[in-house]
Structure 1
């Protein structure tokens, strides 16, 4: 799991990874913390899954860029599964669970 902070770093991910999970996390929101905990737990059990995240408060331009570029309303927390340089799946708030992440990645 790696923190991404810039649009340039994110665009490199798109070029270098066929499939990866990405989470937008608000460090001030308890719901976001719960979702981030689910994400971390999922990744610990699936070390073969490429996973990245951003902290919305620290990377607002990147968060907005992803929303605009992929035409997905920004939410926080928000989990996105990228495949072939597009968003295959996304979820927000209480819908980000180990189970939902597992279903998305294995679909």
Structure 2
């Protein structure tokens, strides 16, 4: 089971990016009114293996309740807004970005393996 951290304000974005310098960060942007978003979230949550992902920090962003935070993520990272959307940050940069049914736990898990430190 994923222990989600909530991303609720634009002011959090800088600290989340900074965190990615010490460990991978997953941001999952979720629309609570969208069945595709619910299915994508469920696919990640069912496969999430805490022992494999123990060094990761996952953030959950409810798009409908936190629109300003969602826009701040897109603007700060230079990534077009999608819903649902999974973004992996590592070493201060986005290294994975997928939306809808392109979101894959296996791709998220391996997103940092080819990053040169």
Provide TM-score, normalisation by structure 1: 0.87
From the CA coordinates, give the structure whose radius of gyration is larger.
2
Aligned length: 107
Pairing 1:2-81 to 2, within 5 Å after superposition:
2-18=5-21, 19-45=24-50, 46-81=53-88
Calculate the aligned-residue CA RMSD, in Å: 1.7
Q: Which has the higher helix share?
A: 1
In structure 2, distance between residues paired with 1:100 and 1:85: 19
For structure 1, the residue ranges without an aligned partner over 5 or more in a row are none
The runs of at least 4 aligned residues of structure 1 exceeding 6 Å deviation read: none
In structure 1, distance between residues paired with 2:101 and 2:89: 20
Deviation at 1:50, TM superposition (A): 1.2
- Is the CA contact 1:35–1:77 (under 8 Å) kept in the aligned structure 2? yes
